[in-house]
């Protein structure tokens, strides 16, 4: 699925469904973050990617909070997804797209 298709699917959801998708997306981001760890070690082999994932996670959680409190001061949906999906790290872009597609597919099921 492409970035624009994912964005359109997300924008068509009610606020309650968006919250569920974003929560699943956030969970999937924690799985993606594990890819940055050194194998069987407490170290981090890709600190820049881990930091980028943390920043995406931060914005996703802020958006969930805004949706639950009906706060008008939040990113528009397309801006949030651009922040989440348009990263300079190609590997992270692929992981973020997978994480969101999976979250959307679970919502549809």
pLDDT of residue 43: 93
Model pLDDT for residues 87-96, shown as the tens digit of each residue: 889 999 999 9
Entry pTM? 0.92
pLDDT of residue 73: 86
* More reliable by pLDDT, 2 or 96: 96
**Model confidence at 109: pLDDT above 70:** no
Give the orientation angle of helix 77-85 with respect to helix 47-69, to 10 degrees.
160
pLDDT of residue 41: 87
Sign, CA dihedral 53-25-17-77, equals positive
Dist CA 107 CA 91 (whole Å): 25
Model pLDDT for residues 61-104, shown as the tens digit of each residue: 999 999 999 988 889 999 999 999 998 899 999 999 999 999 99
Q: What angle (nearest 5°) sits at the alpha carbon of residue 17, between those of residues 15 and 18? A: 60
Give the mean pLDDT of 23-49.
94
């Amino acid at each position: 699925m492409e970035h624009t298709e994912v964005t359109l699917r997300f924008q068509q959801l009610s606020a309650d469904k968006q919250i569920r998708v974003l929560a699943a997306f956030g969970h999937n981001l924690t799985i993606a973050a594990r890819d940055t760890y050194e194998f069987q070690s407490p170290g981090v082999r890709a600190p820049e990617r881990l930091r980028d994932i943390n920043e995406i996670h931060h914005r996703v959680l802020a958006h969930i909070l805004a949706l639950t409190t009906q706060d008008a001061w939040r990113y528009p949906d397309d801006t949030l997804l651009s922040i989440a999906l348009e990263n300079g790290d190609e590997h992270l872009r692929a992981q973020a797209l997978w994480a969101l597609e999976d979250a959307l597919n679970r919502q549809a099921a």
